[in-house]
A and B are shown apart, each in its own frame.
Chain A
Amino acid sequence: MKLFETGIPDRELLEGLAPPPDRAKPLAVLECFEEFPCDPCKAVCPTDAIVMNRITDIPRLIPERCTGCAKCVVACPGLAIFMVWPKKNLVWVPHEFVPIPERGEIVDALDREGNVIAQAEVKAVMNARKKLETTVVCVQVPKELLMEVRAIRVREKKDARD
């Protein structure tokens, strides 16, 4: 397993996490692969879609119960939960950087290694002005990149400062 040497999840770990293409709602994608004491995702889930028996367990998602509310994306202290909706080609990623992009803005879409793999349009921003919360940005990306895009970077605007 390369994950523990590089921080980049191995392909085999990601198998089975992608939502089916025709799913009616977005689906949470839990990229949490290690046992350690942490359970806010389970606690915030309104439909008990995330299961853990002990606090140190790896959280498991029951897709049928997930409503795509993104509460777990916001709550995860490890920023390891994303949301994907194949029907509309949308990915939701946590974003704790300034500046926070605006709806309609084009941003760099990054993969799990930090490579820029697409230009993506911002479709929605959650918690944009709540500093103690985690901002979540929803971007539209090419279908084949739904399970690749895991972060965004707002391009330097000339007048970004001041």
Chain B
Amino acid sequence: MSEKLDVQLAVVGGGPAGLAAALAASRFGLEVLLIDENKELGGQLIKQTHKFFGSHNHMASVRGIEIANRLKKEIRENSHITVFLDTTAVGYYENGELLLYRKSPEEKLVSCFPKAVIFATGARENMLAFPGNDLPGVYGAGAVQTLMNVYGVLPARKILMVGSGNIGLIVSYQLLQAGTEVAAIVEILPWIGGYIVHASKVRRYGVPILTRHTIIEARGKEWVEEAVIAKVGEDFNPIEGTEKVLEVDAVCLAVGLSPIVELVRQAGVYTPYIPELGGLVPWHDDDMRTNLPNVFVAGDLAGIEEATTAMLEGELAALSAAEYFGVKSEEIQKMRKDRKARLEELRASRFSDKVKNGLQKLAAKRPK
């Protein structure tokens, strides 16, 4: 049933962070095994139909799906990278064993002892507590995106969006594009969380954005038939008498993400709780090294941020891995300087204050 495999560098997760990491590592002669549990590489990117923000020399104004296609093509053409799709990394043990569950071409367990691992497992969506939140029809934003943008299935006829961060705003717009009516976007804070241009974009098609509002209940017999929203006071508690019932067949939650840390924790990576970065995050320095000499992290796993920053972090992680393997090259220092400068540039606006804060807190928690 189980098979053994010789691996130099394993990259777990084939989103933008993992793809960029694998490509950069191969440039320095490392042999890479890239693992993703989906049938296709790209992670979140394969659902992003909108054009990305950011710097024009780093793929801004290109749609996420297209960014994924470009990276995938490079990976395919790279002889130093072996790709295992439909494969879940199910365990990473203190003795250095990485256990893989492959579903295709045939179902089997594969055991390997990679000399180093870059983890780029991304994030999972947060839940919100309210009565009826377990009814069918209450979906995470990623689920809605997967359904409509990967499988081409209409998620709902009329939906309530909870959360006005970039994800809530972008997914609302994508829902309109697919043909779902968006009854409203509710946001508990007094202001919109995401980029205002995204908000204006959905508002223009008639979607009300209700700040200082939250969902208080989802109702229905077997699935969601209506959602109750209400205004909140200064204490964020619902104000009695302001309830409104919306006739919707789905509720979409876009209330934040948390890093998927199970695997790195198993191996003994220190994961302090840093709310600004999404919760428990693997401790890492700004070269994406963890407290274990041969384990590196990148992307949303290292703190919830963006695909643009995830790719830069992936490259930084690869540089550190190359050094771990004893590669000495001026190119490493040059690339490192350049990628760090770009990260700093991307993190210059107020939207990154939280992340920068979180990274500072993380730095202060350096294990002895």
Contact = CB atoms under 8 A, between A and B. Distances in A.
Do A's and B's CB atoms come within 8 Å in the complex?
yes
Q: Which label, helix, strand, loop or mixed, suits the secondary structure of the B interface?
A: mixed
Contacts of B192: 4-7
B197 A134 contact: no
Most buried by B among A31, A32, A40, A134: A40
A128 to B, nearest CB: 16
A37 B346 contact: yes
Nearest to A4: B191
Interface in A125-150: 132, 134, 150
A69 to B, nearest CB: 16
Contact of B56 (A4, A5, A39): A39
Contacts of B126: none
Contact of A37 (B51, B196, B200, B345): B345
A112 B349 contact: no
Nearest to B185: A7
Contacts of B209: 5-7
B56 A40 contact: yes
Contact of A78 (B176, B197, B207): B197
Interface stretch (B5-13, B60-68, B283-291): B60-68
Contacts of B52: 77
B211 A32 contact: no
Given A36-B53, A37-B53, A38-B54, A4 B204 contact: no
A47 interface: no
A34 interface: yes
Q: Which label, helix, strand, loop or mixed, suits the secondary structure of the A interface?
A: loop
Contacts of B51: 40, 77, 134
B205 interface: yes
Given A7-B196, A78-B53, A38 B60 contact: yes
Contacts of A79: 197, 201
Contact of B203 (A34, A38, A96, A113): A113
B348 A37 contact: yes
B53 A6 contact: no
A80 B191 contact: no
A91 B247 CA distance: 36
Most buried by A among B50, B197, B202: B197
Most buried by A among B196, B346, B349: B196
Contact of A38 (B50, B53, B190, B200): B53
B351 interface: yes
Nearest to B65: A132
Contact of A110 (B205, B211, B350, B351): B205
A104 interface: no
Interface residues of B, number: 39
Interface string A31-49: 1111111111011100000
Contacts of A55: 54-55, 345-346, 348
A8 interface: yes
A114 B205 contact: yes
A75 interface: yes
B248 to A, nearest CB: 18
B345 to A, nearest CB: 6
A83 interface: no
Given A112-B204, A132-B66, 19 more contacts: A7-B196, A8-B203, A31-B197, A35-B349, A36-B195, A37-B53, A37-B55, A38-B53, A55-B54, A55-B348, A77-B51, A96-B177, A110-B206, A112-B200, A113-B206, A114-B206, A115-B206, A132-B63, A151-B204
Interface of B: 50-57, 60-61, 63, 66, 176-177, 190-192, 195-207, 209, 211, 345-351
Interface of A: 3-9, 31-40, 42-44, 54-56, 75-80, 96-97, 110-115, 132, 134, 150-151, 153
17 contacts: A4-B192, A4-B196, A5-B209, A7-B200, A34-B196, A34-B197, A35-B349, A36-B349, A37-B347, A44-B61, A77-B51, A79-B201, A97-B176, A112-B200, A113-B206, A132-B66, A151-B204
